[in-house]
Amino acid sequence: MTQFSKRWSDPALVATCDVMDRLFQPMTAADGIAFSIGSPAVEALPVDALREISQDVFRRDGRGIEALAYGTKMGIRDLREIIASELLAPKGVHTSADNILITAGGLETMKLLCDIFLDPGDVILVESPTFVHCVMIFQIFNAVCIPCQMDNDGLIMEDVEAKIQKYHPKMIYTVPTFQNPTGVTLSQDRRQKLAELAAKYDVIVIEDDPYRDIRFQGKDLLPIKTFDEAGKVVLANSFSKIFSPGSRLGYVVAPDDIMDKIAYAKVATNSHSSKISEVLAAEFFKRGYFPDHLKRICAIYRERCAAMMEALDAYFPEGTKHTYPDGGLFTWAELPGDIDTTELLKETMDKLHISFVAGRGFYVEGGDAGKNCMRISFGAVPPDKIYTGIKRLGDYIKTKL
Ligand SMILES: Cc1ncc(COP(=O)(O)O)c(C=O)c1O
């Protein structure tokens, strides 16, 4: 029999792999409506700009040779400088290109961080509910995930502090802005408090913030990183939602001592990220496409979110609670009665050709947590389909009550 590593037979990891298989099934029906996917809208992908940029890049006097050759572990310098000046400084994070490393997306960042910080059995505090893909990565490193309570302002700091004292975690993992899966945002005072707790108890906070630029209403908040006086907060971000998920680009911002280790872990993984993607992304920003692009995609998501809120209020059964996000791609609904959304999903995929993600998979505590909840994505579905799909889904749910 093929012998795999012990890490891969950890029951918690096996259970999470099972959740991923069951909950993130692709929608294959031609008339299907997928409220399950976390992808950006196809209309939000900058195809025309990239056609022009790639033609220029691959002209004889362009950046083609640079794009196709090996590069350095940190990623190309002009992209890192653009990240510092255009994406971080306006949000209050003042850092140099030397403290930014380009990764092959947010998930690779998590793997690099696990690599440098975790020993088997180490504890990570996570949100309840949390982003299940990252849980999978944490479990590959045999970390123990302990859930912390949230409300409409994100993680509850009293619970976080109590769990730090009880479990002595190595890391705290949070998606502070328009969280995946709930759409909830961590309030400003809690962001500051979390940085203070990290300093007080010497814990690393991973601030995973891929949705922060997709704000279509409400006041922008400072990243947790801006309150990080002790060098304990590592900021992870991604180009997937604001540029292109297929480019597989993300970045990590960390203080010198942590960055040194991340850079070695990166070399040992894949030397560096895709130079082709890096050059195309750098040119996209340098040619000034980003501000208008961001305005355009935020307008798309604003319209879709408004349609989703209206449709849920109109068509879901009385007693349904859902979040009202100010940005991002998701809302989270809690159904009345005794509905098990894992069972419901099988039926709606089968009978209605409509998918969402059942709540259970986002809770590391297991059991019945999230049983009657669902993550509903509005990002990739046009408004007319949101109204039709949510009406059909709502009518079906009502027959179960
Ligand atoms: C919270 C969160 N972190 C990380 C990722 C992964 O991003 P990437 O596509 O950059 O790997 C996602 C993608 O859905 C996400 O929602």
Identify the structural domains of the chain with CATH numbers, from first to last. Answer: 7-45+292-399 (3.90.1150.10), 47-286 (3.40.640.10)
* 175 C-beta closer than 6 A to ligand 1: yes
pLDDT for 364 beyond 80: yes
CA 162 – ligand 1 centroid, Å: 28
Pocket test for ligand 1, best of 37, 45, 214, 240 (most atoms within 8 A of CB): 240
* 223 C-beta closer than 6 A to ligand 1: no
* Dist CA 169 CA 182 (whole Å): 24
State which ligand 1 atom lies nearest to the alpha carbon of 38.
14
CA 318 – ligand 1 centroid, Å: 33
Span 195-214, mean pLDDT?
98
% residues pLDDT > 70 (the chain):
100
Alpha-helical regions (H) of 90-245: 106-117, 132-140, 157-167, 188-201
Q: Which of 25, 24, 35 is nearest to 387 (CA)?
A: 35
17: amino acid identity, one letter: C
> In this predicted structure, what is the pLDDT of residue 75?
98
CA 317 – ligand 1 centroid, Å: 31
CA 105 – ligand 1 centroid, Å: 7
pLDDT for 175 beyond 80: yes
* Dist CA 351 CA 372 (whole Å): 19
Strands 144-148 and 123-127: parallel
* 105 C-beta closer than 6 A to ligand 1: yes
Do 196 and 160 contact (CB within 8 A), yes or no? no
> In this predicted structure, what is the pLDDT of residue 142?
94
Burial of 362 (0-12, 13-18, 19+ CB in 10 A): buried
Pocket test for ligand 1, best of 24, 107, 173, 330 (most atoms within 8 A of CB): 107
Maximum Cα interatomic distance, the chain, rounded to a whole number of Å: 66
> In this predicted structure, what is the pLDDT of residue 320?
98
* Dist CA 297 CA 276 (whole Å): 24
State which ligand 1 atom lies nearest to the alpha carbon of 105.
10
**Dihedral of CA 365/369/371/377: which sign?**
negative
CA 245 – ligand 1 centroid, Å: 9
CA 106 – ligand 1 centroid, Å: 5
Burial of 394 (0-12, 13-18, 19+ CB in 10 A): middle
Please list, residue by residue across 241-271, b when 16 or more beta carbons sit within 10 angstroms of its beta carbon and e when fewer do: bbbbbebbbbbbbbeeebbeebbebbeebee
Confidence class for position 10, pLDDT limits 50, 70, 90: confident
* 107 C-beta closer than 6 A to ligand 1: yes
347: amino acid identity, one letter: E
* Dist CA 96 CA 89 (whole Å): 10
171: amino acid identity, one letter: M
**Dihedral of CA 145/119/240/125: which sign?**
positive
CA nearest ligand 1 atom 16, residue: 180
State which ligand 1 atom lies nearest to the alpha carbon of 107.
11
Q: Which residues contact 399 (CB under 8 A, 6 or more apart)?
A: none
Confidence class for position 15, pLDDT limits 50, 70, 90: confident
Confidence class for position 276, pLDDT limits 50, 70, 90: very high
Span 11-21, mean pLDDT?
86
* Dist CA 383 CA 373 (whole Å): 22
CA 274 – ligand 1 centroid, Å: 17
Span 312-330, mean pLDDT?
98
Span 45-59, mean pLDDT?
96
Q: Which of 8, 22, 266, 247 is nearest to 132 (CA)?
A: 22
pLDDT for 220 beyond 90: yes
* Dist CA 326 CA 355 (whole Å): 23
> In this predicted structure, what is the pLDDT of residue 12?
87
* 341 C-beta closer than 6 A to ligand 1: no
State which ligand 1 atom lies nearest to the alpha carbon of 131.
1
CA 400 – ligand 1 centroid, Å: 34
pLDDT for 127 beyond 90: yes
Alpha-helical regions (H) of 168-289: 188-201, 256-270, 275-286
Pocket test for ligand 1, best of 20, 131, 243 (most atoms within 8 A of CB): 131
Q: Which residues contact 345 (CB under 8 A, 6 or more apart)?
A: 23, 355, 356, 357, 358, 374
CA 3 – ligand 1 centroid, Å: 31
Confidence class for position 1, pLDDT limits 50, 70, 90: confident
* 238 C-beta closer than 6 A to ligand 1: yes
> In this predicted structure, what is the pLDDT of residue 28?
78
Q: Which letter does DSSP use for residue 327 in this model?
A: B
pLDDT for 24 beyond 90: no
SS3 354: strand
